[in-house]
Amino acid sequence: MKKFFIIIVFIISGLSLLIIVYADNISEKLTYNLNRNLNVDWGKDHPKISKQNMKVDLLDLSVKWDILNIVFANSQSSLILNSITKIQTNKCTAHISLLLNIKIEMKCDEIRIAYKSNNWVSHDEMNISSYFFERRVFDDIYDKQGSYEVKIDTQKLYLNKTNYGQYLIEYAFDE
């Protein structure tokens, strides 16, 4: 039993040493792949992503960027997600923890979100929104995720050019 334990410790130590020694090379390849995948043009119905200085750090389990812009495709649908037209983030770091559940902590200097205004129409005694929630969208997001926590901390949050100052968004989903 001692031999088995020693062999397991030796294997784990060896793999840890390999990861530490080659962490810079692995981080470089992850950075290249992430940037390459974000540069793909998926067509006119998909968001366009532009970024500056995006880097992956394997040992820190983080992704850092100076600027990340997402411009959403124009759609005639009234789905609530189509109300967002653009998201801009500046000087951000996202730390990712993959232990018992997924945790993502993101800190940004600035986040700007542009969205189309929501029009409310009065019909009899009800107010009806020009946008609607579709269950399928939320089922797709939450069905296969498991447990995760997301925390976004920004020094400046702009919603349609209105500055809301320092803002902390926390969200968790436990299965």
Domain locations in the chain? 2-173
pTM of the shown model:
0.71
Classify residue 80 by its DSSP letter: G
Segment 127-146 shows an average pLDDT of 54
pLDDT tens digit string along 42-73? 787 778 888 899 999 988 889 999 998 888 77
What type of residue sits at position 106? M
Range from 56-65, 95-104, 126-135, 160-169 carrying the lowest mean pLDDT: 126-135
Query: Is a pLDDT exceeding 70 seen at residue 146?
Result: no
Quote the pLDDT of residue 64: 92
pLDDT of residue 148: 77
Separation CA 56–CA 72 (nearest Å): 24
Rg value, the chain, Cα: 21
Cβ atoms 116, 135 nearer than 8 A: no
What does the alpha-carbon distance between residue 128 and residue 75 come to, in Å, rounded to a whole number? 20
